[in-house]
Amino acid sequence: MNTNVQLPVRVAVIGAGLMGREVASAFGRWFALLDCPVKPELVGVCDVSAGALDWFRQAPGVRYFETDHRALLAHPDIDVVYVAVPHHLHEEIYLDVLRAGKDLLAEKPFGINLAAATKIRDEAQRLQRFVRVSSEFPFLPAVQRIIALARAGNIGRPLSARCAFLHCSDLDPQKPANWKRQNKFCGEAGVMNDLGMHVAHVPLRLGWNPTSVFARLQKVYLTRPDGKGGQVNCDTWDNASLFCSAQIGGESIPLTLEMKRLAPTETNTWELELLGTDSGARYSTKEPKTLWLYHRGKDQWWQKTDLGFAMPFKTITGGIFEPGFPDILMQMWAAYLAERAGLLGERFGCATPDEAVTQHKIWAAALASHSSQRAVVP
C-alpha cells in the first residue's frame, strides 16, 4: 500500500478518442504506483461527439460530460487539463485552457506549426501556467539508462546518434484515411507532426540541438478509402529521414531522426542509439526490457541486459516483467504531476514548451531542406 500522503489533483480531458481513454485507464490503476507524491482524479471529459463521452461513464469520479470545451473549462474545480484533439485545434483549445486558469498537459505536436507552437508557449509563459507536452518513451527503463550514459559523457569520442519512430500500418493502401493523413488537420509537416516529438524529446533534452538538417521526405499513397465507400486525397508526408549535425560532447556529429508511417514490419517501434569510440548503447521497443551496451576492450562487445521493470516511479509490478505503452504513459503522467508540484527531484521530466517549439523549427527546416535539396539551419 502507498503509505505516503498523495496530493490530489483534479484533471479533465478534452478529446475522448484514442489518447483520452488511455489517460482514464492510467488514472484508474494509479494505486499501482508506490512512491508518486500526487494523485490525479479524473473529474471531467469533453468531446464534440457525445457518443465518445459514453465510454467515460464507467470511469470512477467523472462528473462533467461536456460537448463544448468552453463549458468544461468553466468548471472551477479542475486544476489540470489534458487535450488530445486533432492538430489544427491545438492552438485555439490550448489557449482557452491557459486563459481559463488551468494547467495543461498538451499533446504533440503542440500546435499545427511553428507559429502556433510559439504563440502557445509565449501565452503559457505570460500567464505563468505549468505546461508540458506528451512524450512517453523516455520513461522506459532502458532509455533512462541511455540518458544517464549520455550525461556521464564517458563514451569516448562521440561518433553518431539516432532516434527513430516507425509505423507500418499505413502500408495497407486500403486502410481508410483519418485526419492524420491531411495537411489541413495534421499540418504541413505530416509525419513529423505526428511522430516527431517522440523522436526529438531525448536528443533535445540531452542538448543535441541540430545545427543543420538535410531531409528526405516521402509521400506514397496519395488517396485512400474515406470509410464511406469513396476515396479521399491524402497530402501529408508519410516518411521523413532527417540527417542532422549536432554538438555532442563538444564535437559535431551526425544525428539521424527518422519518422515513418510506411516502415515494413515496424509496429510502433521506437529506437535510440548512441555510439562513441569507447562505448555506446542501443534500444528498441521491439525488445522492451532489453538494453544493448557496447564496450571496446581488446575485443569489441555488445552486451545484452534484461532490465525488467525498473521504472522512474516505483510500482507494484514485479521487477522481472517487461514494460509496455500503458506503463510509460502512467510514468509520464506521474512525472508531469510531480514536476507540477515541485516534487520531481532528479527524475526525468516531460517535454517542455521550449522543446516543442524547437522541434517545430527542425520540421520547418526539414521541409525547406527537402524542397531545396540542401542542408538548412533550423
Ligand X SMILES: NC(=O)c1ccc[n+]([C@@H]2O[C@H](COP(=O)([O-])OP(=O)(O)OC[C@H]3O[C@@H](n4cnc5c(N)ncnc54)[C@H](O)[C@@H]3O)[C@@H](O)[C@H]2O)c1
Query: Does residue number 26 form part of the binding site for ligand X (CB under 6 A)?
Result: no
Q: Rounded to whole angstroms, how far apart are CA atoms 58 and 55?
A: 6
Query: Does residue number 91 form part of the binding site for ligand X (CB under 6 A)?
Result: no
Query: Does residue number 69 form part of the binding site for ligand X (CB under 6 A)?
Result: yes
Alpha helices in 157-289 (DSSP H): 183-186, 191-205
DSSP state of 296: E
Q: Which residue stretch of 24-32, 41-49, 115-123, 305-313 sits at the interface with ligand X (rule: CB under 6 A)? A: 41-49
By beta-carbon proximity to ligand X, the closer residue of 35 and 96 is: 96
Q: Which residue stretch of 44-52, 163-171, 272-280, 367-375 sits at the interface with ligand X (rule: CB under 6 A)? A: 44-52
Q: Which value, to the nearest 10 degrees, does the dihedral of the CA atoms of residues 11, 12, 16, 18 take?
A: -20
Min dist CB 288 to ligand X, Å, is 15
Min dist CB 146 to ligand X, Å, is 19
> What's the sign of the alpha-carbon dihedral 191, 195, 197, 199?
negative
Min dist CB 262 to ligand X, Å, is 17
Q: Which residue stretch of 79-87, 113-121, 217-225, 274-282 sits at the interface with ligand X (rule: CB under 6 A)? A: 79-87
User: Binding residue for ligand X (CB under 6 A) from 84, 114, 117, 166?
Assistant: 84
Query: Does residue number 14 form part of the binding site for ligand X (CB under 6 A)?
Result: yes
By beta-carbon proximity to ligand X, the closer residue of 226 and 251 is: 226
By beta-carbon proximity to ligand X, the closer residue of 119 and 314 is: 119
User: Binding residue for ligand X (CB under 6 A) from 52, 206, 232, 375?
Assistant: 52
Q: Rounded to whole angstroms, how far apart are CA atoms 253 and 234?
A: 35
User: Binding residue for ligand X (CB under 6 A) from 4, 49, 231, 267?
Assistant: 49
The three cell numbers locating residue 79: 486544476
Neighbours of 4 (CB within 10 A): 11
Alpha helices in 112-153 (DSSP H): 114-127, 141-152
By beta-carbon proximity to ligand X, the closer residue of 48 and 375 is: 48
Q: Rounded to whole angstroms, how far apart are CA atoms 153 and 157?
A: 9
CB 125 within 8 A of CB 220: no
What are the residues whose beta carbons fall under 8 Å from the beta carbon of 210, sequence distance 6 or more? 203, 242, 244, 245, 246, 255, 257, 362, 365, 378
By beta-carbon proximity to ligand X, the closer residue of 255 and 329 is: 329
What are the residues whose beta carbons fall under 8 Å from the beta carbon of 128, sequence distance 6 or more? none
Applying the rule CB under 6 A, the residues between 165 and 204 that interact with ligand X are: 194
CB 134 within 8 A of CB 106: yes
Query: Does residue number 79 form part of the binding site for ligand X (CB under 6 A)?
Result: no
Query: Does residue number 259 form part of the binding site for ligand X (CB under 6 A)?
Result: no
Query: Does residue number 369 form part of the binding site for ligand X (CB under 6 A)?
Result: no
CB 5 within 8 A of CB 305: no
Applying the rule CB under 6 A, the residues between 128 and 167 that interact with ligand X are: 134, 136
Min dist CB 198 to ligand X, Å, is 7
User: Binding residue for ligand X (CB under 6 A) from 2, 6, 7, 19?
Assistant: 19
* Residues forming the site for ligand X (CB under 6 A): 14-19, 46-49, 52, 69, 84-87, 89, 107-108, 134, 136, 194
